[in-house]
Amino acid sequence: MSLSELAEKTGISVSYLNEIEKGKKYPKSDKIGVLAQALNTTYEWLISLKLTKNLTPLANFLRSNILSELPLEVFGVSPRSILELFSDTPSKLNAFVTTAFDLARNHNITLQDFYFLALRSYQEMHNNYFEEIEKSVLDFREKYLGNRPITLEQLYVYAKREIGFEIDETSFADFPQLQSYRSFAKIEKKHKRLYLNHLLNNRQKSFILAREAGYHFMGIVERSMSYPWLKTESFDELLNNYKATYFAGALMIPETDLSADLRNIFQNETWEPHLVLRLLDKYNASPEMLMQRIATVCANRLGIQRLFYSRITHEVGSPKFILNKEMHLGGLHTPHSTVLEEHYCRRWLGINIIQELEKQIARGIYQKPIIGIQVSYYMDSTNQYLVISLARPLYPTPNINCSISIGFLIDEEFKQKCKFLNAPNVPERFVNGTCERCSSVDCEERAAPPIRLMMTKKQEAIQEAFYKLARRY
């Protein structure tokens, strides 16, 4: 029944009925009685708070606080618009909510997982460039540094004098459970203390103190006190943590300086890995911070916008390589994570370089982050990428190693910007997504049989058989 038909039967205006439907107006008992009669139901049924059993998942969804926890406003969606959809097609949305919950449960996706996915989308939506944070860094530099580069000593001074931290670098040793954590901030009205893991090197200390400077200088209050965070309570907290991390990277690696360095590297006719490794010392930065900053500067200063950033970790002795952080700029690129229990291609540079790192560690010759480069041709795609990876132990976490990779989509624009692309010391290799979906029959690195591919071919054979059957007569 349309609203105009219901208005004619009840004598209630269409606009008022529309506002009732959207939850903006609450009719009095006499109007509810008229509506019940026109809709051929009872007064009690209309005012009942109970939904039918078929709509139980939708009822549970509405009773939960999930609508307030999801960062809808970040993406321009209001909770009211969601509720309007519910009122229009409740049965279809009930089916959708049920499906979403089943997927989350079957793949063990938590609300925190959703927060991280939303944060990644937020980064990609802004091309991983946040002008207001860059401006805050410039203001910080003007006030405290001038044209001088930031040093660990200056960060200590800022943390003590400006933030008011008492810095404790010994207590972490009393808690072996916290060995993989780097810092913990205790912030009270009259007392502030920053605990630093005693195993941190100077680069890691600089990063932690630069993050704390970001929180304080930008006036961020809602935040996680531990790093890495033990539990994220809200999307705003996760977003604020990212803002502080972004501030630290921009403070330690100025975009104008890095832009000049990268132009110099890309203009070389041959691949010079030492030029990238030198940046770690120049900016006193970790591989992860440097590679994140390179991705940001390439996309927003050098005009190289079609790229991906990924982080792979590996526990020594485990058959699993975990892709636990990624970002795609200029579209979703071929190498990306999957929630399925599949094995990533062992020809990925990010995996190969971890294997090389672990050989060096086993032989006792590892001294500093190692670097690799590769042109990756994807077997089942026309995409080609120039991939650069850095690998190191995930210090101070024991027996965990990681690689950080940036992949540049090789298109005509990138070919013009990168002079060493065809250099003899840049190896080329065919790669794929996962072993389970790979058609390569002679792959020596295969970690699992191509079961997904075989299932797809079986379905195609069945479809072809039905097609032939239909054409027989």
DSSP of 419-467: TTTT-TTS-EEEE-SBGGG---SS-TT--S--HHHHHHHHHHHHHHHHH
| Residue 373 · residue 271 · CB < 8 Å | yes
How much is the pLDDT for 208? 96
Q: Which residue has the higher pLDDT, 89 or 451?
A: 451
| Residue 419 · residue 268 · CB < 8 Å | yes
- Cross-strand pairs, 408: 307, 386
Strand extents, DSSP E, 126-198: 165-168, 183-187, 192-196
Residue 339: band (very low, low, confident or very high) from pLDDT cuts 50, 70, 90:
low
Type and span of the H or E element at 309: strand 307-315
Query: pTM above the 0.85 mark?
Result: no
How much is the pLDDT for 230? 83
How much is the pLDDT for 379? 84
What's the whole-number mean pLDDT along residues 88-98? Answer: 72
Structure tokens at 369: 């982050």
Every domain range in the chain assigned CATH 1.10.10: 124-252
Structure tokens at 449: 């049989």
Angle in degrees, 0-180, between the axes of helices 287-300 and 235-252, rounded to the nearest 10:
90
What's the whole-number mean pLDDT along residues 333-360? Answer: 85
Check whether domain 124-252 has CATH 1.20.950, yes or no: no
What confidence tens digit (pLDDT) does each residue in 401-434 have? 999 999 999 999 999 999 999 999 999 999 988 8
Output the average pLDDT for the chain. 89
What confidence tens digit (pLDDT) does each residue in 235-259 have? 889 999 999 999 999 999 999 999 9
